[in-house]
Structure 1
């Protein structure tokens, strides 16, 4: 029978635990917040070619709308000034709809800015926003008062035989 000393066994068990704790402690809090947000919300349907940063900014807009988070939505504003009045207007207009299915059509080149059309299924409305880099090299949106456009209801798609 092979005997392993208690000291070696303790060291063998302690080292992986310490390394795991150290690696967890080094994880980026923003990344963990993003993963939590992602898992707590409905998926955003996407068309077009978003950059990683523009996609994340638009996802956060939809998530803040769904959560009714005025300060969180206002923090995504890339322009100066107090964006809370515009954020409140957005939440009033789209907060409930953002809890349902939302799709985002990403248009244009995304080097400096990207136009995005949000389609809210519930109220059948669209809203165009501009995603762009803001302070500290983070992307956000130009947050102005919403200008919803009603989507005209059309009949069922024609069938072909």
Structure 2
């Protein structure tokens, strides 16, 4: 076998192997999630999130930390006020989201879950709602177009994370 033939076979094997490996790689969304995960601070979690609510909240905190209101608005399940709400949230919580954030998940999360975000550096507290949209994909309710509404501290939430439970079973008095 000549040197040229060997090199040709090696090149063809490399191309075939590359094609096989391409078929085994993650899809774009999975790769984006993995890249995001390694590029951001880990989210501290309290309570019992569903897989969908946890992923959605994690993405929301990442978008806040990135200052990316458009990507945050893209997580909306009802986009009526999503753009204005996302801009409000980024302005109010974006800097704090770059530091430690704890997400306290309330109630069960089969189709909807209330989550309270605790921003350690700023001491801010934000209630959000993750829920399934019409297409059965998880997203956020982004319905706070007024800045005062978007930054209002929930009156029922404990001042510190870790008091998860149903709002209807006494959590509102667990301050």
- TM surpasses 0.5: yes
**CA, structure 1 residues 79+101, in 2 after alignment: closer, same or farther (shift >3 Å)?**
same
What TM-score, normalized by structure 1, do the two folds share? 0.80
Q: State the 1:67 CA deviation.
A: 0.6
Aligned to 1:19: 17
**CA, structure 1 residues 11+138, in 2 after alignment: closer, same or farther (shift >3 Å)?**
farther
What TM-score, normalized by structure 2, do the two folds share? 0.74
Q: State the 1:21 CA deviation.
A: 3.8
Q: State the 1:31 CA deviation.
A: 0.4
Which one has the largest radius of gyration? 1
Aligned to 2:62: 63
Of 142-151 and 76-85, more deviation after overlay is shown by: 142-151
Residues 78 and 141, structure 1, Cα contact 8 Å, conserved in 2: yes
Q: State the 1:96 CA deviation.
A: 0.2
Q: How does 1:15-54 map to 2 (within 5 A)?
A: 15=13, 17-24=15-22, 27-54=26-53
Aligned to 2:113: 114
Aligned to 2:94: 95
Q: Deviations over 1:7-58 (max 9, x none)?
A: 5786467436523444335530000111111111100000111111111100
Distance 1:12 1:51 in 2: 48
Of 94-103 and 118-127, more deviation after overlay is shown by: 118-127
Partner SS for 1:109: coil
How many residues are treated as equivalent by the alignment?
Answer: 151
Residues 89 and 151, structure 2, Cα contact 8 Å, conserved in 1: no
Residues 129 and 142, structure 1, Cα contact 8 Å, conserved in 2: yes
Q: RMSD over aligned Cα, in angstroms?
A: 2.6
Distance 2:43 2:100 in 1: 7
Residues 115 and 129, structure 2, Cα contact 8 Å, conserved in 1: yes
Residues 73 and 87, structure 1, Cα contact 8 Å, conserved in 2: yes
Give ranges in structure 1 of 5+ residues lacking alignment: 154-161
Aligned to 2:84: 85
